[in-house]
Each structure stands twice: as C-alpha cells, then as structure tokens.
Amino acid sequence: MSAVTNTTTIGAIDAPSRRNTELMLLGFAVAIPVFAYLNVGLALDGEVPTGMLGYGLGLGLLAGIAHLLVRRFAKYSDPLLLPLATLLNGLGLVLIWRLDQSPRLIADSMRQYGSHAGDAPKQLMYSAIGVALFLLVLVFLKDHRVLQRYTYISMFVAIVLLLLPLVPGLGTDSFGAKIWIRIGPFSIQPGEFAKIVLAVFFAGYLMVKRDALALASRRFMGLYLPRGRDLGPILTIWALSLAILVFENDLGTSLLFFGMFVVLLYVATERTSWIVMGLLMAVGGAVVVGSFATHVQSRVAAWLDPFECLKTAPEGTNMAWACDQMTQVLMSFGSGGTIGTGLGQGNSDLIKFAVNSDFIFATVGEELGLAGAMAFILLYGLIVERGLRTALAARDPFGKLLATGLSGAFALQVFVVAGGVMGLIPLTGMTMPFLAYGGSSVIANWALIAILLRISDTARRPAPAPAPNPDAEMTQVVRP
C-alpha cells in the first residue's frame, strides 16, 4: 500500500450565477405544459381550450415572480431546481385538468355528490400558495444554518405533526389510512410537512452525534457493529415508524421516515452496517405488522397477484377494491405501450378513485407511454441529483446532511409512489411530488425546493476574498 495518497480538491473554475440559464429553462418549462394543455384540448374537444391563455399566463406569472426573487435573494443558487419543479407542477396541473374533463369521472361524481367541481382550479390555487411559501422561505431564511438551532424543537414539532391524525375529532380516516386532519373545509396531510421538519432534526442530531455512532464500534464479519447503547436512536425511530404503520395504517409514511433516517445515518457515519441493520429492521417490522393488519394484507395481496386476487376476493370488501384498483392501474400502463395513446386519449379514468392523486402516474404511463414515464422519472432523478450535488458542494456539515436528507426523502417518496403504482412494491397512499393532486404535498414540496435552493446558494456563492496579508507590509528592507 502506498503511503502517498493523492487527495483531490474539486473547485469550480469560476462562479457564474447561472440565472440566465435558469430563465431560459424556466421559459421552456412553462411552454411545455401549455403545449400539453393545447394537446389535451384538441384531443378531447377538437378545439383550442378556452382557458389556455389564463393557465399559461398564471403558470408563467408564478414562475416569473419566483425567478425574479431568486435573482434577488439567492443569486448563486442551483439553476435547475426551479425549472424542474415548475415543469412537474405545470404538467401535473394539465393532467389533473385532463382528468377533470373525463365524462366517466363527471358522471360518477354527479351520481355520488350531485355536482362536479374540477380539481384543477383548486390545484392551481395550491400551487400559488406553494410558490408563495417557496418565496417566503427564500426571503426569510437567509442562512440555512439558522435551522440548526431548532434541532430538538423540530423533533417535537415532527412528532406532534405525525401524531395529529390520531387525535379524535381532528384526524379523518380516509379509506384505511389515517394520515389526514380536517380543519374546517380544509384537509391537511401533516406528514408532508413533517418530512421537512424531520430532516432538520435528523441533520442537526446526527451532525453532533455522528462521531459517537461512527467510531465506537466493534468489527464483526467485515461489518462494524455499533455498541448496544448507540442503537438507541435507530431503535426509537424504528419504533415510531412502526407505530405509524400500526396506528395510521400508512406504509408509505412509515417507510419514508425510517428510510430517511437510515440514509442520513449512513451518510453521516460512513458505516455500511447501518444500512444492513436498517433494511433488516424495516423488513422485519413490515412482515410482523403485515401478518396481522388487514389493511396491509389487502395491499400485499393486490401487489402479489392482482388479477387472481380480483377473482377470489369477496365482493365489496376492501381487498376486492384494492385489487380492482391495481388491475386497472396495470392495464393503464399496459395500454400505454412505448409511446402512449396521446394526451387526452387514454382510459386511465377507469381507475376512478384517486386517479388524479395516488394514481396520477398511471395516466402518465398510459397517455405518454414508456417514453413519457421515463422522462418523468428522469425529471425527478434530476431534482434528486441537484439536491445531492448541493450536499456535496455545501461547506458546512449541517447543510450537507440537510440537503442529503431532503433529497433522500424526495427520492424515497418518488420511489414509494412510482414503485407502488407500477407493482414493484405494495401500493401505499402517497402523492407523487408536484404531479399529484393534493394541497399539502405541493406546498410542502415547494418549501423543500426553497430550502435546497438556499443551501445551494450558500454553497455556490464565491467565498469572500481573503483579508489582505498583514505580513506583507512588515518586510524590512536590508540597507547596505
């Protein structure tokens, strides 16, 4: 082994702010949804949709204001995050509007509620609130390191947010999963916000404790095993996530939080043993809970063989219903083929319930085909890549962990939803970030993007010029 190890330093040649790149991409990101909107209108009614100018201007205005404020308050932030989020949000609006127009869904809604109000205007309003929160975070959070002060407050807030849906009278049980709370006319999904708060707590906590968790360990079979008492944090989080699974019946949220903690633990300590242990604990917990929770059982049955389960499950039960959804979703993806049926020309509205929230990716898969679905996955992948790149570039350990935690949570959420819809893992009720209908999700994810932008701004901002060297003037001149 050579003792000379070449370490490398990677630095940017110069630090352009890249705001013009962002503006160009943003224009592009507004134009694509407008094109999609036109396409849906032409396919459904054979004419240019009347609201096209309004939606296009609305989206453009939101993006424009966001861009100007980013120029002002986060000059050196990442140029890709804002356009990517805008594009996904815009396309989500178009897809929701497209499903609003479906005659089947309208008839269904008329039969059930006697009226039909589209979800797209509401989603546009939520997006506007989301962008407003994005701007507020950018303007008022001048330095992400401020969040570090609130490490333990965040823990408390996160636990309260996670437990809120269990409070009688406040939480609402929606088709098995108790992850909503209802305040007046609004229903909120506190888990979406807990995701961000929890990332702050994990980052702050692990930054302080990582040395104890990384160094105090014994080596056993090539793995570094932590001491018994260092297992406390991971066991606590595990118990909490299992409690969510048992009491709120939500596999997705539980997986998201535990997964985010394990990812951060690995990043902070560089010990593979945490991942091995985390996976074992997650699988063990899920199997035990799955063996007695009927809600989870029906999801697993629908995942293993939806078509068989549809035949055998008793009519009218939860299981039959879950299997019916799953078969519809898989048929949707299947009829999309490689390049899809075209926007507005698919039959994904047959999924009926939650077609524009949990199952919106099925509409992408059917109407844009494999090519479109892959492009969407890549767009999500790019957001995650920019988040991780921000973590690499960040100069402070808290910023590194926070950026990793936020992008890790984002990635896990996309994986859990897309994997569930495509039949890779059992389906859980979560929303595709930005794409799916749901106020909490859109608003929370805009805030998440704002924090990432703030960290990347701090990371990419050129370091202040070094102070002039005081030694220079003190050199004495030799006088012969």
Q: Which of 398, 393, 386 is nearest to 449 (CA)?
A: 386
CA distances from 140 to 92, 134, 147 (A): 28, 10, 12
Among 19, 23, 26, 29, interactor with another protein by CB under 8 A = 29
463 binds another protein (CB under 8 A): no
Do 184 and 262 form a contact (C-beta atoms < 8 A)? no
Nearer to another protein, 42 or 243 (CB): 42
Type of residue at 460? R
Q: Which amino acid makes up residue 95?
A: L
Minimum gap (Å) between residue 381 Cβ and another protein: 9
CA-CA distance, 181 to 15, in Å (whole number)? 45
Q: Name which of 479, 382, 402 is nearest 203 in CA terms.
A: 402
As measured in angstroms, the least distance from the Cβ of 24 to another protein is 8
Task: Provide the CA 245 distance to its chain's centre, in angstroms.
Answer: 19
Exposure letters 26-58 (e unless 16+ CB within 10 A, then b): beebbeebbebbbbbbebbeeeebeeeeebbeb
Q: Of the two residues 47 and 315, which places its CB atom closer to another protein in the complex?
A: 47
Report d(CA 240, CA 166) in Å as an integer.
14
Site for another protein contains 478 (CB under 8 A): yes
Does the footprint of another protein cover residue 382 (CB under 8 A)? Answer: yes
Q: How far is the CB of 374 from another protein (least distance, A)?
A: 9
Question: Could you say which residues in the range 58-77 bind another protein, by CB under 8 A?
Answer: none
Nearer to another protein, 6 or 112 (CB): 6
| Options 17, 19, 25, 285; binder of another protein; rule CB under 8 A | 25
- Is residue 84 within the footprint of another protein (CB under 8 A)? yes
Nearer to another protein, 463 or 477 (CB): 477
467 binds another protein (CB under 8 A): no
The answer to whether residue 42 forms part of the interface with another protein (CB under 8 A) is: yes
Closest CB to another protein among residues 276, 382 = 382
Closest distance between another protein and the C-beta of residue 361, in Å?
15
d(CA 358, CA 227): 41
Q: Which of 335, 345, 419, 461 binds another protein (CB under 8 A)?
A: 345
- Left, alpha or beta for 172 (phi > 0: left; psi -120 to 50: alpha)? beta
315 binds another protein (CB under 8 A): no
340 contacts 346 by C-beta, under 8 angstroms: yes
| Tokens 């370490």, located at residue | 7
Residues 358-377 that bind another protein (CB under 8 A): 368-369, 371-372, 375
Choose which of 118, 389, 423, 461 interacts with another protein (CB under 8 A): 389
d(CA 58, CA 371): 28
In the list 211, 339, 395, 424, the residue contacting another protein (rule: CB under 8 A) is 339
Size of the site for another protein (CB under 8 A): 55
CB of 266 to another protein, least distance (A): 22
Interface residue with another protein among 49, 60, 79, 171 (CB under 8 A) is 79
- Residue 476 binding another protein, by CB under 8 A: yes
Does 112 interact with another protein (rule: CB under 8 A)? no
Residue pair 413/407 in contact (Cβ under 8 Å)? The answer is: no
| Structure token pair of residue 127 | 């997006």
What is the arrangement of strands in the sheet containing 171-174, beginning at the earlier edge strand? 171-174, 177-183, 186-188
Interface with another protein, residue 50, by CB under 8 A: no
Is residue 388 close enough to count as binding another protein by CB under 8 A? no
Nearer to another protein, 50 or 115 (CB): 50
Point out which span in 22-30, 176-184, 208-216, 446-454 binds another protein (CB under 8 A). 22-30
DSSP 8-class letter at 469 = P
- 168 lies in the site for another protein, by CB under 8 A: no
* The only residue of 49, 56, 83, 90 in contact with another protein, by rule CB under 8 A: 83
Residues 401-440 that bind another protein (CB under 8 A): none
Cα separation, 63 vs 82, in Å, equals 8
What value, to the nearest 5°, has the Cα angle with vertex 374 and ends 258 and 460?
Answer: 65
Which runs of E-coded beta strand occur in 184-270?
186-188, 217-220, 223-226
**Least CB distance from residue 367 to another protein, whole Å?**
8
181 forms beta bridges with: 171, 188
Residue 264: C-alpha distances to residues 12, 219, 402, 416, 443 (Å): 26, 21, 9, 18, 24
Question: DSSP string spanning 152-165?
Answer: HHHHHHHHHHHHGG
CB of 338 to another protein, least distance (A): 10
Tell me which residues touch another protein (CB under 8 A): 2-13, 18, 21, 25, 28-29, 32, 35-36, 38-39, 42-43, 46, 79-80, 83-84, 87, 339-343, 345, 368-369, 371-372, 375, 378-379, 382, 385-386, 389, 469, 471-472, 474-478
